[in-house]
Structure 1
Amino acid sequence: MKTTMRAILINLNDKQKSIIDNMMLVFCTAIRFSFNRLIEGNIKKGELEKIVAHKAFERK
């Protein structure tokens, strides 16, 4: 089971904002990539999770 929490980030400096923006970019890109691969229908969910995790790790 996954839990989602909402939060307000206060007192962020520019470096912290940049890190969060990059994390959101990677997350949104992974969601879009996954959705498109599922629409194509030639990849299974388990395989897709591994591919996306590997791509996110490569990017760092």
Structure 2
Amino acid sequence: MEIDWTILSIILIGLIVLIVLVIKKNQKDKKDYTHFLNNDFKKAKEEEVNPDNDDDF
């Protein structure tokens, strides 16, 4: 049984390309998820100050 180096090298190159693409996608998703977590909070509503209303003090 002889090893067909051509087919084996094509499969190996395909696997390397697949691994590189998965790593790049993972890094992009990690960046997006970190951005989402850093900005995922509800901002407090700013209350309007009414100078005519003295009940606040």
**TM-score after normalising by structure 2:** 0.51
Gaps of 5+ in 2: 34-57
Shift of 1:38: 0.4
Greater helix content: 1
Mapping for residues 1-60 of structure 1, pairs under 5 Å = 12-41=3-32
Seq. identity, % = 12
What stretches of structure 1 move > 3 A for 4+ residues in a row?
none
**TM-score after normalising by structure 1:** 0.48
- Report how many residues are paired: 33
How many Å separate the matches in 1 of 2:5 and 2:27?
33
Larger radius of gyration: 2
How many Å separate the matches in 1 of 2:14 and 2:3?
15
Gaps of 5+ in 1: 1-10, 43-60
